[in-house]
Amino acid sequence: EVQLVESGGGLVQPGGPLKLSCAASGFTFSSHWMQWVRQAPGKGLVWVSYINFDGSNTGYADFVKGRFTISRDNAKNTLYLQMNSLRAEDTAIYYCVRDAGLPGGMDVWGQGTTVTVSS
């Protein structure tokens, strides 16, 4: 079964760090670009970051650029999101998502992990 399982969410103080992980199974992880998408409480979906097959190419939404770092370990079939300098507005469910590749779309979603930034 194709599956993505996120972990690492929790309560963190403003300005603090948190690292999310996403364990992939049931498919060839290294053959897919991967994405992070978040959803603030009661709000819509917002794209956060992408990473290519081997991690040599990454991209970020402006609101996380310089604070978040996406990475992957293909040997461990795991995607990461290192989040630093967290703000209250980063509070959200973070989804790990598989990029379907051309002709496009995001076809497999994890169940999400909740990040709460509060003092």
Partner 1 sequence: DMQMTQSPSTLSASVGDRVTITCRASQSISSWLAWYQQKPGKAPKFLIYKASSLESGVPSRFSGSGSGTEFTLTISSLQPDDFATYYCQQYDHYPWTFGQGTKVEIK
- Residue numbers of the site for partner 1 (CB under 8 A)? 35, 44-47, 50, 59, 61-62, 95, 100, 103-112
Please count the residues of the chain.
Answer: 119
- 16 token code pair: 């603090």
What minimum distance in Å lies between the beta carbon of 43 and partner 1?
Answer: 9
* Rounded distance between C-alpha atoms, residue 22 and residue 97, angstroms: 9
Q: Is the peptide bond before 17 cis (omega within 30 degrees of 0)?
A: no
* DSSP 3-state of 110: coil
CB of 71 to partner 1, least distance (A): 18
Minimum CB–partner distance for residue 49 and partner 1 (Å):
9
Nearer to partner 1, 47 or 84 (CB): 47
